[in-house]
Structures are given as C-alpha cells and as structure tokens.
Amino acid sequence: MRFEGKVAIVTGAGSGIGRATARRFASEGARVCLVDVNEAGLAESLPEGDHMTMTCDVSDEAQVEALVSAVVAKWGRVDAVANNAGISCTKEPITENTPEIWQKVLGVNLIGVANVIKHAGRVMTGQGSGAIVNTASVAGIRSGAGGNAYSASKAGVINLTQTAACDLGGFNVRVNAVCPGLIETGMTKPIFDMARDKGKEEKLGSRCELRRYGRPEEIAAAICFLASDDASYITGQALPVDGGNTASLNLPGMKV
C-alpha cells in the first residue's frame, strides 16, 4: 500500500500500459484520476473505489490545465503522475515523412508530456513533493522500434525527463521515465495480430535477452516503483523495461 492517502493521475489510462498502471496505483491505495481521449476505454479501466475519469487530449494545454484543476478541486493534491498517453506512427523512410505526422506525433508524445509536467509540476512544487514518471520507449534509445517521428518524440521524452528533473529537483519533485520494449497493448495489436495470423507469435520478443515480449503489468510495476518512495533518491533517469533488449547489440545469428 505504497500510495495510501495519495493522489495519482494516469494519462492514456483507457488502454494497455495506462490501464494496468491505474489499476496498480489503485491496488496500492491511491485515489486515481484516469485520463484519456477514449471515453469507452476509460469506463472499462476504472477500478472500484474512490477514483475518477477525465476525457482530455494531453496535446491541448488548456485541457490539461482543466484536468489538473479538477483533480485538485476534488482531492486537494497531486502526488504521482504517470505521463503515459501516446500514439505511434507508420515506419516509412524519412524521405516520405510529412509535416503533419511530425506535428501530430510530437504534439501528443512530447508536448503532451510537457503540458502535464507543467501543470502537475506547479501543484507539486507548491506541495514540496511529488513524482512524475514518463513513458518513453526503447525507440527513444535506438532505431528500429518505431517510425522517425515516434522515435524522435521518445528520445525527446528521455531528455525532457532530465531537464524537468533539474528544474523540479529543488522542490523535492522527482521526474523519471520508463522505456518499455515490446508490450502487448492496443498500440501493438496489429503487430501481434499479424504474427499470430502467420503462426509466428513465438518470434515476437525473441531477440530480447529474456526471449519474450512483455506484459502491461510489468511496465506498470516499474512505473509505480519510480513513483513511490522506494525510489526516493532516483530522479532524472530513464529505465529500460525491455527484457534486456537494449543491453545487447543483438547481432544476427549470435543468439544461442
């Protein structure tokens, strides 16, 4: 019960990693505000107890400001944020990328994260405590796990984690990130569907050192660790939660 009496906001809580994270926070005693653009998804994610849902597009700063105000109006504080909402993009070569795709993906994945840090951060600095955990990706560390805009947005989230940690550290507010590897969620459903159709499910994640893909609950566990007092001396860090994927050069033919 690491979050007994605490208030958490989870963005992208209508599906996948965000849903698992909201449930984990709730199971450890937090009152949780579940946030998403997908209202039906939020209804499915909502745990039993004293929790709330908010429909909010994190790329729109006015909506984020209203979200944080609503949480403070209801519960008076914000102790933890899982800044997790995100979208992917197709993997066409850089020569084919459009300005629209760059703006859309950076708008949600990077500026959306900055919007939430800004407004939750104002509350946390006023309290003199708080922890923010951003969901980046292995795609922000190496190429090959997402399209150009997606990967750049996640590299941006890793750096924003460092700069925000520096801005907020003097107020006892910590900012960290997780970098998930391949996890089965709404975002990756097409990849899993295609592999299953071709009878190649066992290939998914097989290049990780743990030789498997991950579950949303395994990312939720890492997010809640970083948001908890167990991580009280950790800030500005981006933790790969990827079955060892980024630990290896993964040269073809080298796995035994």
Ligand X SMILES: NC(=O)c1ccc[n+]([C@@H]2O[C@H](COP(=O)([O-])OP(=O)(O)OC[C@H]3O[C@@H](n4cnc5c(N)ncnc54)[C@H](O)[C@@H]3O)[C@@H](O)[C@H]2O)c1
Kindly list the catalytic residues.
150
Nearer to ligand X, 87 or 234 (CB): 87
Residues ≥6 apart with Cβ < 8 Å to 82: 8, 9, 10, 11, 18, 21, 22, 25, 133, 135, 223, 227
Nearer to ligand X, 201 or 229 (CB): 201
Nearer to ligand X, 84 or 148 (CB): 84
For the chain, the first-to-last Cα distance in angstroms comes to 41
Judged by the rule CB under 6 A, the positions of this chain that interact with ligand X are: 11-12, 14-18, 36-38, 41, 57-59, 84-87, 108, 112, 135, 137, 180, 182-183, 185-188
Least distance CB 251 / ligand X (angstroms):
23
Number of residues that this document lists for the chain = 256
Q: Phi/psi at 239 (nearest 5 deg)?
A: -100, 115
Nearer to ligand X, 211 or 232 (CB): 211
Q: Which residue bears the tokens 């950076």? A: 106
Q: From CA 250, how far away is CA 209, in angstroms rounded?
A: 9
Exposed / middle / buried, residue 197 (Cβ in 10 Å: 0-12, 13-18, 19+): exposed
Least distance CB 108 / ligand X (angstroms):
4
Least distance CB 211 / ligand X (angstroms):
16
Least distance CB 220 / ligand X (angstroms):
10
